[in-house]
């Protein structure tokens, strides 16, 4: 009954001084809106990253050469040289269900009709296309015969094709990698940049060609293994790892990671973002709270005589405390609600801006989560109570006789 | 006896300076009395009224109100007594400027927990009694000084208090409005209301039933001095 009257009273007082109230609220609005916006963008970014990584194929296991310390290198001297093409054949023989893709990365400049291109020349096998879910748009990808015969054929990424052949169709044309002639047999579909790697500037040649015509040995840089069923992942990883160690004369010189572990790493990065941005938003909210406290202190001083009169006619200290606390809570609740609305609008607005300005960020939309809204809102209310408490306590502790005669 | 002060002193401290505002004052006031407190400026009249009204506590001495030793009661009980048993009228009216006349009169009833409808009903009745029924929805600033003071009296009467304490109620009014207020007090007195009023004005003091003269924090004259007999506790 009295509480209802006090809330009504607070609303009247707040609307009676609209400019002051809205300026005070602004701090809370900015705080809540920034929490929601930042969380929504980070959330959207995470979703986008996970999706783009999954667009590069799912259920994948990556194997690559471990960087050894000088000590280890000396110790393992002559026992193992890391991943080799034979390892691929051995894994295929042991696990016929798996698609095992060898990868060799070459560092050669590419020339065609007077143009130069510094792309990423990758030696691999036909399975690459399915495993990475990355297919040719025109022509074909690598074929088993290309591998068997160390053919000098190349499949270009979109950007490589554009840079080397401009608008003309590269199919059937010749180009030089280093000083060897290759025939273009296909151009890949557009893939974009994913997690820092631009897939459109890649050139694919048969892995055997890369090893024997360029490297002069059969060392591999990495393997990509596609596992048909997700449940098998862990077991396969362990078995492949064991097999490789055994083949490498007992030397554990490879790393085996699942795609899921990469996603977890992404998750960790995202959490760092969340904490940093969340901290910024919390600071904004606290500053808003200090604004509330400041204005409430002014209000209490201005209304000292009113407080004295109310005490004289029967307001207890608790009534006075409640009256001022209700005012600051109303400011933060209303500010919180407006902040949520502003936050949602800002989140989607910023989401669009990010989507348009980021290379390959086309699907980076903001994701506004109810939990983030709830947290931001409750935080605003807590801030209102916390920073409203001191001025309200101050009001409730006034001496009625002195307050009545305050000038 | 409704109110009884026994050897009440009040000392104000400002830093190292002490002001003895009341010096062992003993005085009793019965139900139904109309008492005027007179004395020069700074003699301690307001200080005395604050103590009578439970707005402040004596530094020493005892104050009995309606059989209770209020100088020892906790804050909330003093608040309760102010709310239910005491009505205040101030020189500067002390109406809340953003509230209507009606809402101002309702205020003591709000804190007493009276249902809203009953508050309205009683407040309108009180405004009718002081002749301001048609001003119920005005703001205090839209009223003359005399009218504002009548609103304040209506507010003081809201919870049918045992006593009305008025600190120079006519101090800010011209003599005609002052006389109106005094007429209202007379009427209340005749209906049995206990009243204690501070005034500078000798002429106004004459109209009360009893005069207590205070100077330098002491009672120096009392019409009823012969009857004054502090009850030992
Ligand atoms: N809050 C206070 N702090 C310090 N001294 C005070 C306080 N209130 C009153 N005094 C002092 O106590 C003495 C009595 O003051 P009080 O207000 O009771 O006088 P008064 O008789 O009401 O005077 P007036 O007729 O001018 O209203 C004065 O000397 C005054 O300065
Ligand atoms: Mg005075």
Write the pLDDT tens digit of every residue in A132-175. Answer: 889 999 999 999 999 999 999 999 999 999 999 988 899 999 99
Q: Tens digits of per-residue pLDDT, A84-128?
A: 999 999 999 999 999 999 999 999 989 998 889 988 899 999 999
Atom of ligand 1 at shortest distance to CA of B10?
A: 12
* Beta carbons of A104 and A123 less than 8 angstroms apart: yes
Comparing A231 with A182, the larger pLDDT belongs to A182
Cα dihedral B33, B39, B43, B49, rounded to 10, equals 20
Predicted pLDDT of residue A360: 56
How many residues are there in chain A?
Answer: 407
Distance CA B209, CA B182 (A): 12
Tell me which of B151 and A233 has the higher pLDDT: B151
- Provide φ and ψ at B23, rounded to 5°: -120, 95
**The token pair that represents A400 in the structure block:** 């009625």
CA–CA separation, B169 and B172 (whole Å)? 7
For residue B22, give the nearest of B53, B46, B55 by alpha carbon: B46
B90 alpha carbon, closest ligand:
2
3-state secondary structure of A133: coil
Q: Per residue in A38-66, pLDDT tens?
A: 888 888 878 877 777 777 777 899 999 98
Of A13, A305, A319, the CB nearest to B111: A319
Looking at residue B94, its pLDDT comes to 97
C-alpha distance from A380 to closest chain B C-alpha (Å): 29
- Exposure b/e, B145-161, CB count within 10 A at least 16 = b: bbbbbbbbbbbbbbbeb
Q: Is A12 within 8 Å of chain B by CB? A: yes
B13 in contact with ligand 1, CB cutoff 6 A? no
Residue from the list B56, B96, B112 with its beta carbon closest to the beta carbon of A309:
B96
What are A11-40's pLDDT values in tens digits? 888 888 889 899 999 988 988 898 888 888
Phi-psi region of B44 (alpha: psi -120 to 50; beta: other; left: phi over 0): left
Name which of B75, B88, B113 is nearest A312 (Cβ-Cβ): B88
Domain locations in chain A as residue ranges:
2-54+264-405, 60-259
Angle between helix axes B116-129 and B101-112 (nearest 10 degrees) is 130
Q: What is the pLDDT at residue A16?
A: 85
pLDDT band at A293 (very low <50, low <70, confident <90, very high): very high
More confident residue, B192 or A350: B192
Chain mean position to CA A155? 31
Angle, CA B160 vertex, CA B158 and CA B166 arms, to 5°: 75
Which atom of ligand 1 is the closest one to the Cα of B40? 25
DSSP type of residue B230: P
Q: For residue A55, how many other CB atoms are within 10 A of its CB?
A: 15
* pLDDT of amino acid A11: 85
Mutate to test the pocket of ligand 1, among A398, A402, A404, A405 (most ligand atoms within 8 A of CB): A402
CA B43 to ligand 1 center in whole angstroms: 7
Chain A positions touching B115 (Cβ under 8 A) are 1
Residue A181 has pLDDT above 60, yes or no: yes
Q: Which residue, A79, A120, A40, A139, is CA-closest to A353?
A: A40
Q: What confidence tier does A362 reach under pLDDT thresholds 50, 70, 90?
A: low
Three state DSSP letters for A63-109: EEECCCCHHHHHHHCCCCCCCEHHHHHHHHHHCCCCEEEEEEEECCC
Give chain A positions within 8 Å (CB) of B90. 404
- CB of residue B141 inside a 6 A radius of ligand 1: no
Grouped pLDDT means (10 residues each) for chain B, 233 residues? 96 94 96 96 96 96 95 93 98 94 97 94 97 96 96 98 97 93 96 96 91 95 65 47
A vs B, Cβ pairs < 8 A, gives: 61
- pLDDT for the residue numbered A367: 79
Lowest-pLDDT range, A153-157, A179-183, A362-366, B220-224? A362-366
A4 to chain B, any CB pair closer than 8 A? The answer is no
- Give the C-alpha separation, A133 to A352, whole Å: 27
What single-letter DSSP state applies at residue A315? -
Look up the ipTM and state it: 0.94
For residue B45, the ligand 1 atom closest to its alpha carbon is: 21
Domain limits of chain B?
32-60+75-226
A26 interface with B at CB cutoff 8 Å: no
State the architecture of B32-60+75-226 in CATH terms.
3-Layer(aba) Sandwich (3.40)
Collect all residues of chain B within an 8 Å Cβ-Cβ radius of residue A11: none
Instruction: Tell me whether strands A110-112 and A115-117 are parallel, antiparallel or unpaired.
Output: antiparallel
Taking the CA of B56 as reference, the closest ligand is: 1
**CA A384 – CA A285 distance, rounded (Å):** 10
Which has the higher per-residue pLDDT, A366 or B123? B123
């Amino acid at each position: 009954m009295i509480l209802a009257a006090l809330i009504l009273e607070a609303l009247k007082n707040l609307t009676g001084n609209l400019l002051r109230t809205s300026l005070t609220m602004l701090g809370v609005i900015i705080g809540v809106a920034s929490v929601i916006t930042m969380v929504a963008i980070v959330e959207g970014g995470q979703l986008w990253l996970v999706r783009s990584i999954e667009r590069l194929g799912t259920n994948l296991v990556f194997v690559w050469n471990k960087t050894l310390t000088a000590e280890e290198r000396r110790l393992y001297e002559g026992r193992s040289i890391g991943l080799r093409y034979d390892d691929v054949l051995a894994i295929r023989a042991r696990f016929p269900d798996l698609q095992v893709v060898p990868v060799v990365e070459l560092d050669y400049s590419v020339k065609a009709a007077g143009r130069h291109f510094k792309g990423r020349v990758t030696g691999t096998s036909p399975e690459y296309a399915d495993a990475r879910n990355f297919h040719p748009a025109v022509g074909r990808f690598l074929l088993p015969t290309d591998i068997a015969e160390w053919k000098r054929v190349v499949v270009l990424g979109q950007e490589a094709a554009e840079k080397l052949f401009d608008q003309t169709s590269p199919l059937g044309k010749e180009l030089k990698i280093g000083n060897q002639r290759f025939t273009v047999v296909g151009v890949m579909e557009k893939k974009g940049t994913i997690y820092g790697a631009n897939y459109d500037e890649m050139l694919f040649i048969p892995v055997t060609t890369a090893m024997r015509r360029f490297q002069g040995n059969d060392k591999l840089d990495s393997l990509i293994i596609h596992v048909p069923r997700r449940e098998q992942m862990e077991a396969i990883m362990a078995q492949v790892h064991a097999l490789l160690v055994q083949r490498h004369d007992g030397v554990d010189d490879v790393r085996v990671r699942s795609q899921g572990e990469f996603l977890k790493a992404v998750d960790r990065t995202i959490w760092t973002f969340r904490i940093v941005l969340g901290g910024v938003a919390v600071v904004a909210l606290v500053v808003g709270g200090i604004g509330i406290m400041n204005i409430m202190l002014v209000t209490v001083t201005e209304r000292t005589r009113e407080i004295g009169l109310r005490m004289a006619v029967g307001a207890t200290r608790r009534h006075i405390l409640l009256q001022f606390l209700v005012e600051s809570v109303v400011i933060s609740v209303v500010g919180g609600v407006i902040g949520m609305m502003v936050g949602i609008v800002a989140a989607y607005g910023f989401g669009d801006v990010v989507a348009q300005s980021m290379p390959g960020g086309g699907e980076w939309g903001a994701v506004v989560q109810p939990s983030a809204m709830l947290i931001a809102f409750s935080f605003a209310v807590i801030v209102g109570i916390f920073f409203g408490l001191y001025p309200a306590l101050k009001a409730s502790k006034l001496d009625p006789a002195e307050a009545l005669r305050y000038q | 006896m409704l109110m009884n002060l026994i050897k009440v002193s009040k000392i104000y401290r400002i830093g190292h300076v002490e002001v003895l505002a009341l010096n062992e004052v003993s005085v009793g006031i019965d139900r139904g009395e109309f008492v005027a407190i007179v004395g020069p400026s700074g003699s301690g009249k307001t200080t005395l009224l604050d103590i009578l009204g439970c707005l402040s506590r004596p530094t020493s001495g005892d104050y009995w109100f309606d059989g209770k030793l209020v100088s020892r009661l906790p804050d909330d009980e003093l608040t309760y007594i102010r709310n239910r048993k005491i009505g205040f009228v101030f020189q500067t009216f002390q109406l809340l400027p953003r509230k209507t006349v009606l809402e101002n009169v309702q205020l003591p009833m709000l804190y007493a927990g009276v249902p809203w409808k009953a508050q309205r009903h009683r407040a309108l009745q009180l405004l009718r009694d002081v002749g301001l029924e048609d001003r119920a929805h005005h703001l205090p600033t839209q009223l003359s000084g005399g009218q504002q003071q009548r609103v304040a009296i209506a507010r003081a009467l809201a919870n049918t208090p045992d006593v009305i304490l008025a600190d120079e109620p006519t101090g800010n009014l011209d003599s005609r409005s002052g006389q109106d207020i005094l007429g209202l007090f007379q009427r209340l007195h005749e209906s049995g209301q206990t009243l204690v009023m501070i005034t500078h004005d000798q002429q106004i003091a004459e109209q009360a039933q009893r005069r207590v003269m205070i100077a330098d924090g002491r009672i120096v004259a009392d019409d009823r001095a012969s009857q004054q007999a502090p009850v030992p506790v």
